[in-house]
């Protein structure tokens, strides 16, 4: 897991400024800023610099000398977005006056002052990056001495598993609402009958939630099938469909699906908070069956499932995730989503942002 370091010290006292136009409540922003989030698929970052956004902070990502650089998307010279720049063998060049930025955000060339040393203020202040599960992760406020809190995706590195990464799926909703939808088991027969669910299996058998150091886990055993409905495949009579969830607050969870025999499929759901009402859903997937079939099939299936959820998740009101359990009403099937809200409260989150709808 390569970890690329930023230039200059960044310590606990070195608190970043809130981004201009921040849509989050400041105390919650500072909690989220310490977390690692994917901002792009690795395969989507080629030679040209790319713009991204995390927690309202505009970012530029580029490759230089075999590593990935993430920095604020503003040239230190006159503030032109570096994502408007161009690829250069040494890194990227700003479009305005041609400054060249390379590995670790170092400014390597100032074409208007040939023969003079580069001023220290022209180096970029960068954010650390890690490449994992085919995604580029970063953190706006890394904590001294702490390892990146990138959740474990079961089976990803195991022999016999085929992997794929869905393209970034943007949604007009808060990340917490999206994540909660991923772990909600009662909506399957109502929303996902077009992809895998049986609309007649409506009851949710009881299940337990188990706390873990970085979140919690849950085994949901039911007769709700998971084969694509258009595949015509059926599990043998009496097969128990186990859905093993591992939830990593604030906005990541994995689901390991137990198909008949030893067949497994894993879906990881990471909701990156671009801004309060904008979320980029990143979803690496893997399976140890049908591995001779194209990975595009897995990707297309998951995108269809997201499409089924989208309109509902985007329509939920209030738009933030109410952590006060009195705000919304709950059923016996909601043990897992209540555990999620409770854990967010324990972590110190309060309201995320002031509701605007």
- Min dist CB 6 to Fe ion, Å, is 37
96 binds ligand FES (CB under 6 A): yes
60 binds ligand FES (CB under 6 A): no
125 binds ligand FES (CB under 6 A): no
Nearer Cβ to Fe ion (28/309)? 309
309 binds Fe ion (CB under 5 A): yes
Binding ligand FES (rule: CB under 6 A), the pick from 12, 15, 97, 233 is: 97
Range in contact with Fe ion (rule: CB under 5 A) among 4-12, 108-116, 218-226, 308-316: 308-316
108 binds ligand FES (CB under 6 A): no
Please report, for residues 136, 146, 216, 292, 333, the alpha-carbon distance to residue 13 in angstroms, rounded to integers and kept in the order given: 26, 15, 31, 52, 43
- Min dist CB 89 to ligand FES, Å, is 18
Residue 313 CA to residue 315 CA, distance in Å, equals: 5
Answer left, alpha or beta for residue 317, where phi above 0 means left and psi between -120 and 50 means alpha: beta
**Which option in ligand FES, Fe ion, none does residue 309 bind, with CB closer than 5 to 8 A by kind?**
Fe ion
Residue 34 CA to residue 29 CA, distance in Å, equals: 9
- Min dist CB 123 to ligand FES, Å, is 13
Pairing of strands 91-93, 100-101: antiparallel
Nearer Cβ to ligand FES (97/293)? 97
Counting residues that bind ligand FES (by CB under 6 A) gives: 8
Q: Report residue 325 as tokens.
A: 């359990």
75 binds ligand FES (CB under 6 A): yes
Counting residues that bind Fe ion (by CB under 5 A) gives: 1
Binding site for ligand FES (CB under 6 A): 75, 77-78, 80, 94, 96-97, 99
């Amino acid at each position: 897991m390569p970890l690329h370091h930023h230039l200059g010290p960044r310590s606990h006292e070195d608190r970043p400024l809130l981004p201009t136009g921040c849509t989050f409540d400041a105390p919650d922003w500072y909690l989220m800023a310490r977390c690692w989030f994917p901002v792009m698929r690795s395969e989507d970052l080629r030679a040209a610099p790319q713009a991204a956004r995390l927690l309202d902070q505009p970012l530029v990502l580029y490759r230089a000398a075999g590593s990935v650089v993430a920095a604020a998307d503003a040239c230190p010279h006159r503030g032109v977005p570096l994502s408007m720049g161009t690829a250069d063998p040494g890194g990227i060049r700003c479009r305005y006056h041609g400054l060249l930025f390379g590995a670790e955000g170092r400014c390597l060339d100032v074409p208007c002052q040939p023969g003079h040393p580069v001023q220290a203020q022209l180096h970029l202040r960068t954010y650390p990056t890690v490449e994992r599960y085919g995604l580029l992760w970063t953190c706006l406020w890394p904590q001294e001495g702490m390892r990146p809190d990138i959740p474990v995706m079961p089976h990803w590195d195991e022999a016999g598993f085929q992997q794929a990464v869905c393209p970034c799926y943007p949604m007009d909703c808060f990340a917490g609402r999206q994540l909660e939808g991923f772990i909600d088991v009662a909506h399957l027969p109502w929303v996902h009958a077009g992809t895998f669910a049986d609309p007649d299996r409506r009851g949710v058998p009881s299940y337990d939630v188990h706390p873990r150091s970085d979140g919690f886990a849950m085994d949901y055993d039911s007769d709700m099938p998971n084969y694509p409905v258009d595949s015509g495949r059926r599990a043998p009579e009496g097969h128990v469909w186990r859905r093993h969830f591992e939830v990593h607050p604030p906005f990541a969870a994995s689901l390991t699906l137990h198909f008949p025999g030893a067949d497994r499929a894993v879906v990881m759901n990471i909701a990156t908070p671009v801004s309060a009402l904008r979320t980029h859903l990143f979803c690496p997937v893997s399976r140890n069956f049908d591995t001779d079939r194209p990975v595009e099939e897995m990707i297309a299936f998951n995108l269809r499932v997201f499409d089924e959820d989208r309109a509902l998740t985007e329509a939920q009101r209030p738009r933030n995730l109410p952590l006060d359990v009195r705000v919304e009403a709950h059923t016996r099937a909601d043990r897992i989503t209540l555990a999620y809200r409770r854990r967010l409260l324990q972590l110190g989150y309060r309201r995320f942002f002031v509701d605007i709808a």
